[in-house]
Structure 1
Amino acid sequence: MKRYYAIPFILLLICSYPAQAQSSEEEAVKSAIQQLFDGMRKGDSAMVKGAFADKAILQTVQNKKDSTTAIVSLTLAQFLVAVGTPHTDVWDERITFDKILIDGSLACVWTPYRFFLNDQFSHCGVNSFQLYRSGTGWKIIYLVDTRRKDKCL
């Protein structure tokens, strides 16, 4: 009779292992992204740089006043200068982890956000991150976002 109880228990353990492994990978991916936003809040360009791969690409999908759309690119170096240049406002991007997809050493993350200067709302949108697992952990290789002032998620 004891054997009958052992089989469901063993199956439960086997089936739950991939979920636990995925969960720890998801947490590691989240941690890399959170490092970016913690660094932005602190104005710490070294902390921000540590979240990115060396040749990362940063872009914004920008809605223009004439109802057209443009892609605006920023180099990682330009972004790091902006973050590290002393400023009186705290750059506080508040994100929600909506979707995290991982396949081996590649991760894709979708994060709706609201951006505040100090406690004053500035804009909102969505970030789309591509990350890869490097020898030192997950690194952002591509970040594209949208920006708007209304219809926040």
Structure 2
Amino acid sequence: MNIIRWVSRLDKIALPAPWGATNLGKMMRMKKLIGTLVLLVLFNLAALAQTEETNIKEVIEHLFRGMQLGDSSMVRSVFHKEVTMATVYRNRENAIVLRRESSIEDFVKSVGTPRADALNEEIWDLTIQRDGDFAQAWCDYAFYIGKKFSHCGVDAFHLFKTENGWKIFHLADTRRSTNCTIPPAIGNKYKN
């Protein structure tokens, strides 16, 4: 039953005769108080769920900001120490390839290597699903080196909540350089 309909029916509950007329007002106030408390608890639970999704989104944004700044410490901070990474793409012969990274170290080293142009990974259509301390996030992305388009695809993150906040324990992506539908607001940022 819908909780709001349940709370609105509290004042329609018939009281047994022993309560008498003098206690009727007290009972009505008690029912309204209980109804209000139930609603507050439900709203707080909804706000907590929203906060967790915001925290997960911030972890993902922190990763891409660290990449853009070339800050390997910032990038490393969002990953669990046992993170796994994989990429799915088609090679020059159009065969499907699954490439697994042996460790996060090569990725972090690559990000921290000084370069003339920043690594810019723009994301959109981020979807987050969560069950307790486990979450997955999925988003489209376009990757640019400086203002030059490199590739696009989808990022898929698996995260879990630790004592130090949400950490990415698996990151997989697809990569292609054609058939990319990049939102104009993003594409226009990188026009020369």
TM-score by structure 1 length? 0.89
Structure 2 runs not aligned, ≥5 long: 1-10, 12-27, 183-192
Q: Is the CA contact 1:125–1:152 (under 8 Å) kept in the aligned structure 2?
A: no
In the alignment of these two chains, the number of paired residues is 153
Q: Is the CA contact 1:97–1:109 (under 8 Å) kept in the aligned structure 2?
A: no
Matching of residue 127 in structure 1 with residue 155 in structure 2: yes
Which residue of the other structure, out of 116, 132, 144, is the alignment partner of 1:88? 116
**Root-mean-square deviation over aligned CA pairs:** 2.1
Post-superposition CA distance 1:17-61 (Å, at most 9, x none): 332111100011111111111110000101100010001011100
Post-superposition CA distance 1:57-84 (Å, at most 9, x none): 1110011222221111222001011011
Of 96-105 and 29-38, deviating more is 96-105
* Letter in structure 2 aligned against 1:71: L
Matching of residue 37 in structure 1 with residue 64 in structure 2: yes
Q: Report matched runs for 1:138-153 at 5 Å.
A: 138-149=166-177, 150-152=179-181
Q: Percent identity?
A: 35
| Residue aligning to 1:99 | 127
* Letter in structure 2 aligned against 1:96: W
| Residue aligning to 1:23 | 50
* Letter in structure 2 aligned against 1:125: G
Indicate the structure (1 or 2) with the bigger Cα radius of gyration. Answer: 2
* Letter in structure 1 aligned against 2:121: E
Answer 1 or 2: higher relative contact order, Cα 8 Å, separation at least 6.
1
TM-score by structure 2 length? 0.72
Please identify runs of 4+ aligned residues in structure 1 that moved more than 3 A.
Answer: 1-15
* Letter in structure 2 aligned against 1:151: C
